[in-house]
Amino acid sequence: MIDFSTLPRKNKTYAGANGSKISVIYDGEQYMLKFPPAPRKSLDMSYANSCISEYIGSHIFNIIGIKAQETLLGKFTVNDKEKIVVACKDFTSLGITLQDFASLKNQMIDSAHNGYGTELKDIIYTIENQQAIDSKELTEHFWNLFIADAFIGNFDRHNGNWGFLYNEQTDKMSIAPVYDCGSCLYPQASEEMISTILASKDEIDARVFVFPTSVIQNEGKKINYFDFISSLQNDDCNKALKRIAPKINMEAIEQMINNIPCISELQKQFYITMLRHRKEHIIDYSFETLKKKERAKKNKDAK
């Protein structure tokens, strides 16, 4: 385990509501060090597992082939208490700044909704009408994110935690690496809760088919990942499903989780179990349904 307690610090500050953040230098590179927030639901926990979720989620994105921030797990001692923290490599630099999707959405001056509004049709409108990024590239990225977030159970991919790198010299923007994955994989689940979930098929199924939902809304209601993806109602979502589903390498993901030194065997079993179930029942089921639908259409057109 890396001990980040005595590392040199920088004065750079970071926004965001979930946990404290400081800037440190590790191995000659600048990192944002994120501390775990206090749990809101499981009061028997000393702190939430969001740093573990951040680490696993970011690594899963990279395994799938969606570029995400580099993350490291370590420890930090505060007031004689040691905490597990996650270090996120700073992908900004001099003249290269991070701008979130909400800021881009605010440029849609003919829209009645602000940048943080998460209604799907407004997000799609922004993607199709903004001028900063190729709309096809941005559409693919948005739906790739959506499918991957469905797999890892991310309940908080709002417009403020994905975005772009802005080059002040060229006035150009590019899609930023994926960041802020601390709301995936049930960060509020205590070991007692984990034991209860693993012992019950109904409890597991509830966390696959019912919650967590996406923060994105469709006609005022938060999107249920299983219902939306398996309905095959959105062509761009279907295309992303075809891109992402074959790239989910469970062997590599499970090896990554099993190699984490600072979590219990019970936690490892929980993360792997939930990811297997979400892959099988959301991603694989929808992917197979889509392939059957396309085969049926092809056979019909051939007659």
pLDDT tens, residue by residue, 7-64: 999 998 887 666 789 999 999 999 999 998 877 666 555 567 999 999 999 999 999 9
How many other β-carbons are positioned within 10 Å of the β-carbon of residue 275?
Answer: 22
How many other β-carbons are positioned within 10 Å of the β-carbon of residue 187?
Answer: 27
Quick check: 93 and 74 in contact, CB under 8 A?
Answer: no
- pLDDT value at position 79? 85
- pLDDT value at position 232? 98
Q: Which of 22-36, 95-109, 208-222 has the lowest mean pLDDT?
A: 95-109
Domain boundaries, the chain: 2-93+177-302, 96-146+164-175
Class of domain 2-93+177-302: mainly alpha
pLDDT tens, residue by residue, 155-182: 999 999 999 999 999 999 999 999 999 9
**And the tokens for 82?**
């040691």
* Whether residue 148 has pLDDT greater than 60: yes
